[in-house]
Amino acid sequence: MHFAKRSTLRATCSAMIGLALGTTGLMASHAANAGEVSIWAWDPNFNIAIMQEAAKRYTAKHPDVTFKIVDMAKADVEQKLQTTLASGVTKTLPDIVLVEDYNAPKYLRSFPGAFEPLSGKVDHKAFANYKVNLMTMGGKVYGLPFDTGTTGMYYRSDLIKQAGFSDKDMQNITWDRYLEIGKQVEAKTGKKMFAMDPQDIASIRIMMQSAGRWYFDKDGKLDIKNNPALKAALETQVKFMKAGIYKPTSGWGEWVGALNKGDVASVITGVWITGSVKAEASQSGKWAVAATPRLNVPGAVNASNLGGSSWYVLAAGKEKAAAADFLNEIYAKDVDFYQTILQSRGAVGSLLASRSGKAYSEADPFFGGAKVWQQFSDWMGKVPSVNYGIYTAEGDAAVAAQLPGLAQGLPVEKALENIHNQLASQIK
């Protein structure tokens, strides 16, 4: 699903789930003859459960099609896909595979012809533009956009008010303003503004994309030294380190624990954190949401993304035609499906029409009666598109390697030079 830290910790199950969703046992036993669509994904409580719901809906109208959904750890999905595609022996590949958005450009460029184009089979204009752009190559669109990692600022309205601010003060602010508010929150309440692993680069990703920039430009060329968004993001990170308004954490458990224990006043991350925020029932009514802060650079907006994944059909799949039809019928057209998975799994899909559904317009008492899902779906439509390229992981590593130096006073210009040099040497 989402943030790599989350998917690694959550996606630990590697059992095979065979779904024979026909109406009779005879149909199930002859799945291979009836047309069995095989799928690889991770996270039994999110992606797998959602795919089971999608398959159930499809077989209700197409009883001749059955599904075999293979659930394994995210890292195992990626390793098997990479190894199999590299070997050229594609008989063991599934019909559909889940791919994290950050990795999609790498697969499409590294293995041309391995994925089935869905242009003309799916109306991609119906989805969030930034999701469609990252799966487009050579004028063809190769995936079916799934969940969004649209970001937002979750904050404790009670602590913010104790510090002398109103909910209005939290709307559409800059990161510098967020820092100033954080200083006052700590001074007045004794609470840190947010929790962060000092070695994590999630906030830098969020800041860059909100300004429509990445480690690479639109043409896939390295974009480090003259990247105002990356420079501003690093400068902002340094300001946070110097101000000390964050609580240092390590790992998913500590990070979420800081929210649930009331140690921090806010968290800025993907919408997928909603369920974890709401896990502490005693805090109901004390939380609110606002748009993601923006950088002080040209083109920056109060919307960004962190994580998210999409479905891809393999060109070598035996049932690729049925697979494409299934994705189109359920994930590209069934608005009610998105209401169901929102309510049951907290999944915010990237199909724009889903925003008109009832589930998205319901008020949430946990967040003070705000229509949280509607807000996130609105922000989703404003997320800038960027080119993740095929070396995002290397870019993350290069940035992370400079954080300790920045904390010790390394000039940002020097850090940018080091990042550029490290990446340049890796992508020759």
| C-alpha triplet 81, 142, 339: angle, nearest 5° | 95
Closest of 205, 198, 291, 294 to residue 246, by C-alpha: 198
Of 127, 97, 139, 131, the residue nearest 114 (C-alpha): 97
Report how far residue 279's alpha carbon sits from residue 259's, in angstroms, rounded to the nearest whole number. Answer: 10
264 pLDDT band (50/70/90 cuts)? very high
Asked if the model's pLDDT at residue 385 lies above 90, the reply is yes
Q: Which pLDDT score is estimated for 9?
A: 37
Predicted confidence (pLDDT) at residue 10 exceeds the cutoff of 60: no
Mean pLDDT of the chain, nearest integer: 91
Residue 14 has pLDDT above 60, yes or no: no
Residue 12 scores a pLDDT above 70: no
How high is the pLDDT of residue 427? 85
Query: Residue range 216-234: average pLDDT?
Result: 95
What is the band of 195 on the pLDDT scale with cuts at 50, 70, 90?
A: very high
pLDDT at 28: 31
Beta bridge partners of 148: 308
Task: Check if the beta carbon of residue 118 is closer than 8 Å to that of residue 143.
Answer: yes
Q: How many CB atoms lie within 10 A of CB 229?
A: 24
Across the range 269-294, mean pLDDT stands at 95
CA Rg value for the chain: 22
32: phi then psi, degrees, rounded to nearest 5? -60, -40
88 torsion bin: left (phi>0), alpha (psi -120 to 50), beta (else): left
- Supply the pLDDT for residue 34: 52
| pTM for the structure as a whole | 0.84
Q: Which residue is listed with tokens 């609470």?
A: 191
So what's the pLDDT on residue 16?
Answer: 36
pLDDT in tens, 28-63: 323 333 589 999 999 998 999 999 999 999 999 999
- Confidence class for position 266, pLDDT limits 50, 70, 90: very high
How confident is the model over 161-176, as a mean pLDDT? 98
Contacts 24+ apart (CB under 8 A), 92-95: 93/314, 93/316, 93/317, 94/38, 94/39, 94/40, 94/70, 94/314, 94/317, 95/37, 95/38, 95/39, 95/313, 95/314, 95/317, 95/318, 95/319, 95/320, 95/322, 95/323
Judged against a pLDDT cut of 50, whether residue 11 lies above it is answered with: no
Q: Does the pLDDT at position 23 exceed 90?
A: no
What is the rounded average pLDDT of the residues 74-88?
Answer: 95
For 83, left (φ over 0), alpha (ψ -120 to 50), or beta? alpha
Alpha carbons 78 and 122: distance in angstroms, whole number: 25
254 is written with which tokens? 């500590």
